[in-house]
């Protein structure tokens, strides 16, 4: 099982290596891939050093699986070339997510849709992944009519430059303009600005939550609005999700349903101050759900607080889980 990791020197690429190793994915040969400036550098995996190679050499190697985390432009150009060589590409960028011919997959929700012919598979946006893990069992049981989403997203979701900006600011330095990932400081601040603004004044991140959720849950009728906020948290996205269900529900049944759903850890005991927090979700693969309570202002309303490590379940772990599914079902 030869596995390429494209974008191996980036934040998510490094976590992909860690997750592959932790989950004992049967890698017989690692093919670390990065931009030309990183070719020849070394990465460590399974106690050995592996040399980074370029994209052309990686395509020629025709690995069984390629985990991509190198940005949308790289993916649009190179994912089809890997696919043509017989590789299953699992792509973490936004390049293929809304392509009607490409599956957008969260294994706990819709992995059964995958076939051997799916050579390019899209990994959803980090905020979408953790949310749909929690929403899917509710949608199946009660039906979802409307979602109002507010996110509190770690700066690590923006990448290395944002981490460096935060580190400089936290030490009292003022970054140079070219060192800024954001228009404003992120240290001790909240930025209601994730990705770029669109013509409707929503950001791309907010519209990803709208469009990807509908695609993954296979329901274009769900009404969704979102506000995405970048916060000074070093790892872990949090979401306040207000859900309007189509049917009435028993709150105890909702909690039991969430507790029994694979991939979810229910932390919901306000009397003991137990609720999900990014501080404790960091480096874990579960989606943590708590503050489960009725919205008493609307019929069939429910409030959820959803937290996950955005670099793991929100990116690397989800991609590796897709690869595990392909392997387990004999699709790769």
Instruction: Give the integer Cα–Cα distance in Å for 76 and 126.
Output: 19
Whether the Cβ atoms of residue 119 and residue 83 lie closer than 8 Å to each other: yes
193 is catalytic: no
Catalytic residue of the set 88, 139, 194, 237: 237
126 is catalytic: yes
Three-state SS annotation for the chain:
CEEEEECCCCHHHHHHHHHHHHCCCCCCEEEEECCHHHCCCEEEECCEEEECECHHHHHHHCCCEEEECCCHHHHHHHHHHHHHCCCEEEECCCCCCCCCCCEECCHHHHHHHCCCCCCEEECCCHHHHHHHHHHHHHHHHHCEEEEEEEEEEEHHHHCHHHHHHHHHHHCCCCCCHHHCCCCCCCCCCCECCCCCECCCCCEHHHHHHHHHHHHHCCCCCCEEEEEEEEECCCCCEEEEEEEEECCCCCHHHHHHHHHCCCCEEECCEHHHCECCCHHHHCCCCCEEEEEEEEECCCCCEEEEEEEECCCHHHHHHHHHHHHHHHHHCCCC
* Cα–Cα distances in angstroms (integers) from residue 241 to residues 280, 298, 312, in the given order: 20, 14, 21
Catalytic residue of the set 88, 126, 139, 194: 126
Dihedral sign computed on CA atoms, order 310, 65, 70, 44: positive
Residues annotated catalytic, as ranges: 126, 237
């Amino acid at each position: 099982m030869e596995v390429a990791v494209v974008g191996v020197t980036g934040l998510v690429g490094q976590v992909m290596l860690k997750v592959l190793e932790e989950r004992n994915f049967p890698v017989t040969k690692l093919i670390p891939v990065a931009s030309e400036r990183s070719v020849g550098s070394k990465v460590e995996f399974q106690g050995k050093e592996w040399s980074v190679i370029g994209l052309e050499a990686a395509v020629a190697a025709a690995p069984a699986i390629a985990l991509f985390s190198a940005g949308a432009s790289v993916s649009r150009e190179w994912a089809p070339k890997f696919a043509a060589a017989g590789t299953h590409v699992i792509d973490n960028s936004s390049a293929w997510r809304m392509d009607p011919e490409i599956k957008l997959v969260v294994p706990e929700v819709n992995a059964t849709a995958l076939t051997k012919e799916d050579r390019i598979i899209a990994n959803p946006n980090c905020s979408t992944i953790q949310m749909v893990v929690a929403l899917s069992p509710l949608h199946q049981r009660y039906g979802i009519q409307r979602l109002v989403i507010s996110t509190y997203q770690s700066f690590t979701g923006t990448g290395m430059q944002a981490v460096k900006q935060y580190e400089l600011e936290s030490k009292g330095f003022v970054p140079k303009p070219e060192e800024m990932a954001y228009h404003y400081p992120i240290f001790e601040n909240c930025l209601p600005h994730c990705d770029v603004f669109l013509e409707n004044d929503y950001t791309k991140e907010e519209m990803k939550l709208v469009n990807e959720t509908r695609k993954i849950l296979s329901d274009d009728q769900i009404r969704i609005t979102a506000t995405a906020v970048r916060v000074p948290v070093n790892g872990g996205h949090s979401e306040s999700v207000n859900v309007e269900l189509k049917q009435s529900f028993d709150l105890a049944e909702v909690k039991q349903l969430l507790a029994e759903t694979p991939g979810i850890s229910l932390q919901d005991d306000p009397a003991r101050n137990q609720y999900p927090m990014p501080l404790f979700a960091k480096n874990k693969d579960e989606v943590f759900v708590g503050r489960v309570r009725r919205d008493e202002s609307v019929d069939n309303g429910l409030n959820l607080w959803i937290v996950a490590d955005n670099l793991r379940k929100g990116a690397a772990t989800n991609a590796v889980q897709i690869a595990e599914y392909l392997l387990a079902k004999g699709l790769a």
